Structure 1
Amino acid sequence: MTEQMTRKKINSRIAEEIDRNLRQAFDDMAEQPVPDRFTDLLAQLKSAESTRKGGGEKDA
């Protein structure tokens, strides 16, 4: 039974380390600026939406 408890502790520590590393990787990625191509695309979509709404068409 001691061996089983030791395995659980090791597995728990491994899972905690994986969790910590994943959080760090995603936190680092979330701090990166949004690429220009995405902000340009969002601007195009907003422009198309305002043109559609301003053109007298009814929303579905």
Structure 2
Amino acid sequence: MTDKTGASSGAGEPVRADHPHAQIATKLRALYVSVQEEAIPDRFLDLLEQLDAVERRHVPDGAK
């Protein structure tokens, strides 16, 4: 089924590239990829390592 713009409204049917939903989806994908490619800041990695160290000290050996 298509709407008045000619874009598909059904699941799995293609949407025209000039349709607003297609444009939003393209921009969201690009943003997602750029965030995936960003490096994790060193201070976050340090915090994660500190948390892991605390967990290792507080978790009994048999509970792992």
Which category describes the TM-score, using the shorter chain as reference length?
Answer: 0.5 to 0.7
Structure 1's unaligned 5+ residue stretches are none
- Which protein, 1 or 2, shows the higher relative CO under an 8 Å CA cutoff with sep ≥ 6? 2
d(CA) in 1 for partners of 2:56, 2:3: 62
**CA root-mean-square deviation:** 2.3
More helix by share: 1
Structure 2's unaligned 5+ residue stretches are 8-14
Q: Structure 1 runs of 4+ off > 2 angstroms?
A: 4-9
- Relative to the length of structure 2, the TM-score reads 0.63
Equivalent residue for 1:43? 49
Of structures 1 and 2, the larger Rg is shown by 1
Equivalent residue for 1:29? 35
How many residue pairs align between the two structures?
Answer: 51
Overall identity of the aligned pairs, in %: 27
